[in-house]
Every structure is written in structure tokens, then in C-alpha cells.
Chain A
Amino acid sequence: MSDKRIFEIYRYDPDKDAKPRMQTFEIELDGSERMLLDALMKLKKQDDSISFRRSCREGVCGSDAMNINGKNGLACLTNMLTLPQKVTLRPLPGLPVVRDLIVDMSQFFKQYHSIKPYIVNETPPPEKERLQSQEDREELNGLYECILCACCSTSCPSFWWNPDKFVGPAGLLAAYRFIADSRDQVKEERLENLEDPYRLFRCHTIMNCVDVCPKGLNPTKAIGKIKEMLVKRA
């Protein structure tokens, strides 16, 4: 099976390039490259300077997020059969580019850290596990599975405009993951931390985040629940 594809890839190496450029590659696939990541690795054999992150190649580590034909996604979960003959790859939008498809994710993680992403429970723990009902545990489904790939936050116009002030969909999904956990004792503080015109309320339910999440999660819904809680609280 012969399958010729055109790859247009965003290239920028601050070591030698004055400014970014798009570079076109032709690649012949032989059918063994199931996913975009397989094709990219084949391309890297042609030109070892093409730079991107990758690790687990099965969609759980969140390394290889990129902008694929205009939409954010993971290269390792994007089947080549779903892509047209011409594939345009750019780094995730809105974050500083380190090199080629590699972005500086500091701002993204800073926002994640800002929501205190850990359980706070000052009651001395029992000798065994803290009990949690199945219903309470189910509240965490759709929240804890986030892989921090940043597809969502970097597809969000509100995050592009205010990456330093708006927590962004990934961070807010995580915030709700801890608010929703029956074992956490600082819900009030968590809500307080988000009661701000920027941190939470910059979300205008554009829902790009839901559209691009490679794990099928719904940050908008989680954000809605936080907003609801804040309204009730007021």
C-alpha cells in the first residue's frame, strides 16, 4: 500500500533561525504507520532536526500534543486514516515556542499549581483507608483522568488572551476534581481562590476544550458546576 503524504511543519530553532517558518516534507507511508506519531518518527529519520516530544505512544502521558490541521490533539492517538493527504503541524497555540513543535508549558503548569492540586484533610487519617461511598467516588469520574497535555487550555481563546490570569480549562477541571472529592476539607477556600473575574469567570463556554480533549473529558461542565456553587454560596 503506497500512501504519499505532504507534511507542512512549523520550524523554529532559536539557535539558528531569525524567525519561524513552515517547511514542507514529502513522505511515503507503507501502512505500518498507524498513527501520526509513527509517521512523524519516520520523518525524523529523514531529518533528525524535527523536534517534538513523545513518550508513551498510547495516549496516557500527554507528551505529544500539537496542533494538527488546525485542531489540537495527540499525535499518538491521531489515526493517519483520519487525516487528509496534506497534514499541517504547528505547536500548541498561545504558548511560547521553545523549538519546532515543542512549547514552553510553564504558564500552563503554573495555573495548574495555582488551584492547589492535592487533597487537604487535616483530620488524622485512620489506620486503614478513609472510607468513600461508591457514589462519592463516582463524582470523580471524568475529572481525575486528565493527562495534562494542554490541548484544552491552548485551544481556549480566553487562555490565549489571559494565560497569566485565567486558570484555563485543565486547571479548572483539576480544581473541580478536588472540590468534588468527599475527602477534601477546604472546599470553601477552593471556591474563594476562584471567585475572581479572571481566574474562573473568563470562561465564556466556547467549549473548544471539550471539542479537543483526547480523553473525552468535559472541562466546561466542571467549570459550570464551580460557577453554580459560587452562585449558591453568594
Chain B
Amino acid sequence: MAQTIHKYDAVVVGAGGAGMRCSLQLAKAGLRVAVLSKVFPTRSHTVAAQGGIGASLGNMDEDNWHYHFYDTVKGSDWLGDQDAIEFMCREAPKVVYELEHMGMPFDRNPDGTIYQRPFGGHSAKYGEKPVPRACAAADRTGHAMLHTLYQNNVRNKTQFFVEWMALDLIRDSEGDVVGVTALEMETGEVAIFHAKCVLLATGGAGRIFAASTNAFINTGDGLGMAARAGIPLEDMEFWQFHPTGVHNAGVLLTEGCRGEGAILRNKNGERFMERYAPKLKDLAPRDFVSRCMDQEIKEGRGCGPNGDYIALDLTHLGGETIMKRLPSVHEIGKNFANVDVIKEPIPVVPTIHYQMGGVPTNIHGQVVVPKNGNPNTIINGLYAIGEASCVSVHGANRLGTNSLLDLLVFGRAAGNHLVETALGSKAHKPLPANAADYSLSRIAVLDNSTSGEYPQDVANDLRKTMQLHAGVFRTQASMDEGVKKVVAIDERAKHLSLKDKSKIFNTARVEALEVANLMEAAKATMVSAAARKESRGAHTVDDYGDTVEHPLGRNDQEWMKHTLWYTEGNRLDYKPVNLKPLTVESIPPVKRTF
């Protein structure tokens, strides 16, 4: 059966913050752009971001992009590319002002400027003291931002394909990307989107872990698509544990709590972060705070009957501040922990939150891979932006508020790059014959399945394995074992079975297709992690501790490099970190203390 072919200049896969910031730029320039999304745009996971957007507006205290640049490089534990970091931090004020002009309901200061709050790892004067840099709309910044972007896309008549799940990239004989296949969930039909350019803006794969702050839709679909198309994934061993996920629920409590003055306490009521980070205290970067919390729990100072959580104390902030600045936190406490945060501390544990790695790109969002000795050869027709991408601004550890900023800066930059390179006047490259065959065969396997495992059983085993073998504290032996287990689960994932064979809005089929993407993200994570023989940022391995030669276990001589994982044979490659910023002096690596 011939597939329907939709023809567009650009197809954006994913309607979160990055996808919609990009599509807005393209639609405004008059390009024909389609946005595919598994969910209605305002249901994308950007909606759940709470705390703020990092930008050195200096509305509350002296600040400039140089400080932001320094904090981000240091936060990344020197794995971030300094050209990309400079670009992001310089662009930050502009993208925030633009968002305000689009109608974003930021909180305000008495002088009418945008309200900013302190956030982890953000400092003035190169680490001297915390600085308020997070531009916030209460604790609903992501919601306000995503709705604002959707509204402006409506205004500019962006064409949305809602509840369409992208399946596979279409590459021609030269390796150029010329389109994408997608499943219309309501009808079960597969169509081809023929495009001059495909942009992956599919977010992260946080659902490869059992305890995650992420939405169910965060299954790394773009990563799976890229991996299956032979494109490597970069730095997938680096996963951020957010210090304050609600114990036993996984739901996030924003770092904005601590930005507004909340304190982490152990079972003795001690503000233990003072011991670990004398300057930034509770506002040290997330990898650092998460490890300190784990340390407290390990040494028997955790709270509760099982001593397995830390208390986040907001009680001294007062009801008025909490209801004004952190109303959702109050709501979440009630709904998911039976705790009134105005009156009592809330139990929290470090919880998987963000994927620092992704599809490798340059600062225009173009996907780059090693070829003929050049580690950054452009793949024509393919871009990646947002959490799905690795540009790399977050390196081994992302600073809070830099994710929303990343979406805005690189979503916009990718859009601008396409406009500047005159995408509109280029011709479509022809589609290869049988462009949808691969996707159709993947679906046929599921539809014809008579025996096999239920997809969620396989996915749940994968999640448990990842949680156990790629958690906050890693050991070499455990990671090596994890690799074997994940490879075994990968075999099981090839034999999934659906009972539901309906064409109409078959969510079981969608979930089974998601498992294929989760598998790619999980293999990339586990294999890359086991191979990295050092501790850096969020990748902390017991075997590689603090020594004179390798402060905090970081081994710059051998491991200051980006990992590249290929699905074929679980092969690894590496490429250098770019330590050279665009215009300023490089920040040389030192031991990270706060």
C-alpha cells in the first residue's frame, strides 16, 4: 500500500520548548513547517519545568554573561564545549526578553522588571556568592513558557500534527536526511513526511529509570530514531539526579525552593550542606548536592523510620512567600506526600531528572558525526535541539535553569540557521524507494505477534536495571554487570507481543514502539558509563575517588573527551572537548569546590 506523503520545507519532531521555539522562527520567516507531536503541544514535558530560565539580566544584583559562562563551564565539570556555552550565555538575555515580548507572564519586581531568583551553581564574581539569575513565573515557569510558545505558534499559523508519533528518519544513498516516517495515532496509518530538513526536538529519555521526575512520554524517541539511522549518541553516561524529588513519588520539587531559602536537613536537623559547600551551601550544583545527600544517608544521618531520605525545610519561609513564589510546591506536597510544606519539612531524595547527553550537534543545531578524520562532519538535512541534543552546553552536569535556556537559545538558533541558509529556496532531494518499509516492518512485527512479552514488563525490568546499575553512586563492577543485563533485555525487547491489534488510537502499540527507543537510550547510557574510567560531574564512580593526581576522581589527561556510542555492536568512539570559547579566554580546568 502506498503511503501518504506530506511535503514540507522543515519537519520539527516534538512540540516542547525547543521544537516550538524553532518552529516559531521558521513559521515567522514564511517557511512551510510541520510540527509532529505525540501529545497536544502544551502537554509536552517542558510544561513541568518549575524554577526559571537562566539569564544574566542583572535585575536583582550585579550580573553579566561572563559570570554565567564561568558557572556553566565549572558546573559542566569541564566537559561542556566552551564555544557553545559562550553562545548560550551571551544569547540568554535576548531570548528571555523576546519571550517576555511574546506575552510570557513573568513575575515582576517593584520596578516592573522581570523577577529573578537564585539557583544552584549560579554565582556572581566567579563563584563568590549566589546571584539571582533564574527568570521565573512563580514555580510554573515551564508551563508559562510552553503555553506562550504555543500561543505564538498559533498566531503564526504553524502547522501541527497532533498525536503523531515519529518513527524513523529517512536517509538517502548519500546519507542525507530527506524526511521522516510517522504514525497517526488516531487512525493507525503510517505516513511519510518529505522534508528538506528534519529537526529532532523530542526531549530526553528519563523514563529509562525506575524513579524519575519525567513524564511518561519521555522515552527518547529522537535518540532511538538517530541511533537506528546509524548516528551516534554523545555523553549518554551523564544523567542528572535532581536533589529534591518527592520521596516515593518521583515528582519534582523545584530547586527554586532552595533559591527562595529552603534548607536541606539530615535527621539531626543539621544544615549539612554548610559542611560540604561553605560558599554556595544548599545552592551548590545538583550533582554535588545529590552526592552530599547520598553521603548523609549512607553514613546513617538520613531521616525517617528507614533513614532513607533527607528533609527539605521550607517552614521558615512563611506561608505568604510559599503561596506567592512556590504555589505548585505547596500543591505537590499535599497531593503526593500528604505534607503541608508551610508547616513541616517534606521528604526528598535525589531523583533522575535530566539527560545531559544526546544527538551530537554544533551551535547551529546541525547534527555532526565523525567522518574521514573530522569529528564534526555535518549530516545534511538533520538538526537536533533541546534535551534530545548534545551541543554540549551541560557537559557532565547541567545547572538548574540552563535547560529552559538551552531550549530557547538553540531552538531559535536552529531556526535562524535554516532561514539564513535559504532553506525555502532549496529543492527537496528525492525520497529513496520504499522509504517507509523499515517503519512498516517494525509495526508489522508487533501486529503479527502471537507470543512474546508485554512491552511494559520488559520496560519495567529495564528501568529497574538502570536504576540499580547506573544510579547516583556507580561502581565499576556494578556497571559492568549492568551492561550484560541491558544487552540481555535488548534481546527480550525484540520479541514483544500486543494483545490489542486495533488500528484506532492503539496506546499499547505506541508504548511498544517507545520501548524500542528506550532500549537505545539505555544501551547508550550503560555502555558509555561502564567505559568511562573516572568520576566527572554526574558520573561518580566509587572506584575513581579523590587523589592528588585526579582531584575528585576526574582524570583530565585521559578522559576530558566526549563519548560517542553507536548502536551497531555497541561501539564507542570519542571526540575532544572544545575548550576554546568564541571570543573570550578559556576557563582552565581546576578542582570543583563550592
Contact B147 A144 (CB under 8 A): yes
Contact A183 B45 (CB under 8 A): no
Contact A51 B505 (CB under 8 A): yes
Knowing that A15-B503, A119-B151, A129-B106 are A-B contacts, what are 7 other residue pairs whose CB atoms are under 8 Å apart, sorted by A's residue number? A15-B504, A48-B500, A99-B504, A118-B103, A125-B97, A129-B101, A132-B108
Contact B336 A34 (CB under 8 A): yes
B456 cross-chain contacts in A, Cβ below 8 A: 44-45
Say which one of A59-67, A160-168, A205-213, A224-232 lies at the interface with B. A59-67
Name B102's contact: one of A34, A98, A119, A148 (CB within 8 Å). A119
Residues of chain A having any CB pair with chain B under 8 Å: 13-16, 34, 44-45, 47-49, 51-63, 77, 79, 98-99, 102, 105, 109, 113, 116-119, 121, 125, 127-134, 136-137, 140, 144-145, 147-148, 178, 181, 183-184
A129 cross-chain contacts in B, Cβ below 8 A: 57, 96-97, 100-101, 106, 113-114
Say which one of B35-43, B171-179, B282-290, B556-564 lies at the interface with A. B35-43
> How far is it, in angstroms, between the C-alpha of A105 and the C-alpha of B500 when the chains are bound?
24
Which of A79, A102, A144 has the most chain B CB atoms closer than 10 A to its own CB? A144
Q: A105-B40, A147-B42, A183-B103 are in contact. Are A48 and B454 (CB under 8 A)?
A: yes
Contact A130 B100 (CB under 8 A): yes
Residues of B29-52 contacting chain A, CB below 8 A:
39-40, 42-45, 47-48
- Residue pairs across A and B with Cβ atoms less than 8 A apart, 14 shown, are A13-B504, A15-B503, A48-B454, A48-B500, A55-B216, A55-B217, A58-B252, A62-B43, A113-B154, A119-B103, A129-B57, A131-B111, A132-B112, A137-B108
> How far is it, in angstroms, between the C-alpha of A79 and the C-alpha of B249 when the chains are bound?
13
CB-nearest residue of chain B relative to A102?
Answer: B505
> How far is it, in angstroms, between the C-alpha of A45 and the C-alpha of B456 when the chains are bound?
8
Lowest 8 CB-CB distances: which A-B pairs, in order?
A131-B112, A119-B103, A49-B500, A48-B508, A118-B151, A61-B43, A125-B101, A129-B100
CB-nearest residue of chain B relative to A117?
Answer: B151
A58 cross-chain contacts in B, Cβ below 8 A: 48, 251-252, 332, 335-336
A128 cross-chain contacts in B, Cβ below 8 A: 57, 93, 97, 113
> How far is it, in angstroms, between the C-alpha of A91 and the C-alpha of B332 when the chains are bound?
26
CB-nearest residue of chain B relative to A14?
Answer: B504
Q: A52-B507, A57-B216, A132-B112 are in contact. Are A63 and B151 (CB under 8 A)?
A: no
Tell me if B568 counts as interface (CB < 8 A to partner A).
Answer: no
Residues of B141-156 contacting chain A, CB below 8 A:
143-144, 147, 151-152, 154-155
- Main secondary structure on A side of the interface with B: loop
> How far is it, in angstroms, between the C-alpha of A177 and the C-alpha of B164 when the chains are bound?
30
Contact A56 B43 (CB under 8 A): yes
Contact A16 B502 (CB under 8 A): yes
Contact A55 B113 (CB under 8 A): no
Contact A56 B45 (CB under 8 A): yes
CB-nearest residue of chain A relative to B331?
Answer: A59
User: Chain A's nearest CB lies how many Å from the CB of B94?
Assistant: 9
Residues of B58-91 contacting chain A, CB below 8 A:
none
Tell me if B107 counts as interface (CB < 8 A to partner A).
Answer: yes
User: Chain A's nearest CB lies how many Å from the CB of B217?
Assistant: 5
> How far is it, in angstroms, between the C-alpha of A99 and the C-alpha of B441 when the chains are bound?
25
CB-nearest residue of chain B relative to A134?
Answer: B108
Q: A15-B502, A125-B101, A129-B97 are in contact. Are A137 and B107 (CB under 8 A)?
A: yes
B506 cross-chain contacts in A, Cβ below 8 A: 51
A79 cross-chain contacts in B, Cβ below 8 A: 335
> How far is it, in angstroms, between the C-alpha of A66 and the C-alpha of B582 when the chains are bound?
52
